[in-house]
Amino acid sequence: MDQNNIQIPTEEEKEAQKQTERPVQNERKLKLPLVCKIIYALAALCAVLYICFICFPEFSDIFNRYVSPFVRGFLATLTGWIPFSLAEFLLLMVPFIVIAIVVFGLKRYSSSWRDVLIFSLTILSVAAYVFSTFTLGFVPAYRGSRLDKKLGLDKQPVSAEELRDTTYAVLEELTAIESEIGFKSDGFSVMPYSYEELNDKLMDAYDVACEKYDFIPKLHSRVKRIMLSEPMTFTHISGVYTFFTGEANINTNFPDYTLPYTAAHELAHQRGIAREDEANFVAFLVCKESDDVYIRYSAYLNMYEYLRNALYSASTDYYTETYYSVPVNCRKEMAAYSKFFDKYRENVIEEVSETVNDTFLTINGTEGTRSYGMVVDLAVAYYKAQ
């Protein structure tokens, strides 16, 4: 062998060769993360399940009773230790997250269209996760059988006379405990304990309700306070359940008497009661089971307000007749609430929020935001059966 013909590359030539090979090596390494592939596969399965839930209510009931509670419970437990609302934090961080994603993506994944595609698919897997948690944890609750069937109630169109009779029944229970409630000089009642104690008392009430109503799964969780409650009040939203984090959140800017009932409502969503009128009624039933007089007071007064509004539309005479049976302190409380709410009553934020919420509820097979007030139909059927 003639060793004179052997050419040894110089250091410059070696470095140039490395630079030529590096993009190829990087391109081979850049793949969609395994966790993203799993999320997309789950989302595909959920798309099939979504259609099944719409087509087969019986399947929705089975899924909501035996599978969905584990999904909702897992998420509630996973985020429950966090002392603040993770969903609210993420929402506030959205602008910063978007900027960080764009900057990071341009810096690391803009060398080729393949890189851009993989990076985009990685980011979009978040949307696939949200869709999956919604489908597994909440869609069956929307598409299953109605609450009146589960409770064995005969829900029929409601007459003005039936509304009046139900209103009197609720007022009788409200009057029986009103004297045990403390009121301030401004007309508002006072919740005599902390939010943590309220949460414990509601957990106790839910334990009793779970024994009485087997379609409510047992779950010990916590209600989280919204940090920006005052600004949130402009949306007219007093509470929200975030299905992708499993958190029940309440707006603490609202008067005390609304808080136990609102918290019970969001906890009902967390337990698979999706429709708004049904969550309202389950909240009423649960609060009625409480040993605490203020929680029961919250249930009766909030239910009276729904009945009052329906009765006013059905018969102004019956509305006036029943109004004067309301305890004086309760009338002052409602007047104080009306004055409090004047600041937030009409604004652009509320209109946008109302439209978004109505669209969301309608898409999921309900009567939109009108469904909140339809709790009176369940209340009438319930008191007729007593």
Structure-model confidence comparison of residues 246 and 364, the more confident one: 246
Whether 208 shows a pLDDT value over 90: the answer reads: yes
- 351's CB contacts (< 8 A; 6+ apart) are none
Is pLDDT at 23 greater than 60 in this prediction? no
Candidate from 59-68, 135-144, 357-366 with smallest mean pLDDT: 357-366
Q: Across-strand partners of 159?
A: none
75-96 pLDDT per residue, tens: 999 999 999 999 999 999 999 9
Alpha helices in 213-292 (DSSP H): 229-232, 259-270, 276-288
Span 27-50, average pLDDT: 89
- pLDDT value at residue 25: 45
Q: Are 186 and 255 spatial neighbours (Cβ–Cβ below 8 Å)?
A: no
Strands 239-242 and 247-250: antiparallel
234 Cβ contact partners less than 8 Å away, ≥ 6 residues apart: 344, 347, 349, 350
Contact (CB, 8 A) for 153 and 381: yes
pLDDT of residue 195: 95
Residue 221 pLDDT greater than 60, yes or no: yes
């919250």: which residue's tokens? Answer: 298
Q: How far apart are CA 221 and CA 80, in angstroms?
A: 7
The contacts of residue 101 (CB under 8 Å, 6+ apart) are 123
pLDDT at 347: 81
Q: For the chain, which residues make up each domain, given as ranges?
A: 28-143, 148-384
Query: pLDDT class for 8, splitting at 50, 70, 90?
Result: low
Q: How much is the average pLDDT of 329-341?
A: 96
Return all residues near 244 (Cβ < 8 A) that are at least 6 apart: 75, 87, 129, 130, 133, 134
pTM: 0.88
Query: Which of the pair, 20 or 87, is modelled with greater confidence?
Result: 87
DSSP states of 280-319:
HHHHHHHHHT-S-HHHHHHHHHHHHHHHHHHHHHH-HHHH
Tokens standing for 58? 């019986």
Q: What does the alpha-carbon distance between residue 279 and residue 358 come to, in Å, rounded to a whole number?
A: 16
Range name among 92-106, 251-265, 304-318 with the lowest pLDDT average = 92-106
Output 87 or 368, whichever has higher pLDDT.
87
Measured in degrees and rounded to the nearest 5, phi and psi for residue 54 equal -70, -40
Structure tokens at 239: 């509470």
- Give the distance between the most distant pair of CA atoms in the chain: 117
pLDDT of 2 over the 80 cut: no
Alpha carbons 71 and 51: distance in angstroms, whole number: 19
Q: Are 275 and 374 in contact (CB under 8 A)?
A: no
Long-range contacts of 115-124 (CB under 8 A, 24+ apart): 115/27, 115/30, 118/30, 118/31, 118/32, 121/32, 121/36, 121/40, 122/32, 122/33, 122/36
pLDDT, tens only, 114-161: 888 888 899 999 999 999 999 999 999 999 999 999 999 988 888 999
Q: What is the pLDDT of residues 186-197, one digit of tens each?
A: 999 999 999 999
Q: What percent helix, strand, coil does the chain show, rounded to 5?
A: 70, 5, 25
pLDDT band for position 254 (cuts 50, 70, 90) = very high
C-alpha triplet 58, 282, 218: angle, nearest 5°: 75
pLDDT of residue 17: 64
pLDDT at 217 over 80: yes
Torsion of CA 190, 193, 196, 200, to 10 degrees: -110
Span of 20-29, 233-242, 255-264, 336-345 with lowest mean pLDDT: 20-29
CA 238/CA 258 separation, integer angstroms: 9
Instruction: Using DSSP, state whether 225 is helix, strand or coil.
Output: strand
State how far the Cα of 14 lies from the Cα of 197, in Å rounded to an integer: 71
Give me the mean pLDDT over the 293-302 stretch: 98
The token duo for 96 is 């910063």
Q: What is the pLDDT of residue 202?
A: 98
Give the least confident one: 150-154, 298-302, 312-316, 353-357.
353-357
**Burial class of residue 264 (count of CB atoms within 10 Å of its CB; 0-12, 13-18, 19+):** buried
E strand or H helix at 223, and its extent?
strand 223-225
- The percent of residues above 90 in pLDDT, for the chain, comes to 75
The mean-pLDDT minimum among 101-110, 138-147, 255-264 falls in 101-110
Q: How many CB atoms lie within 10 A of CB 307?
A: 25
Average pLDDT taken over every residue of the chain? 90
Share of the chain above pLDDT 70, in %: 90
Looking up tokens 């630079």 gives 19
The mean pLDDT of 260-279, rounded to a whole number, is 96
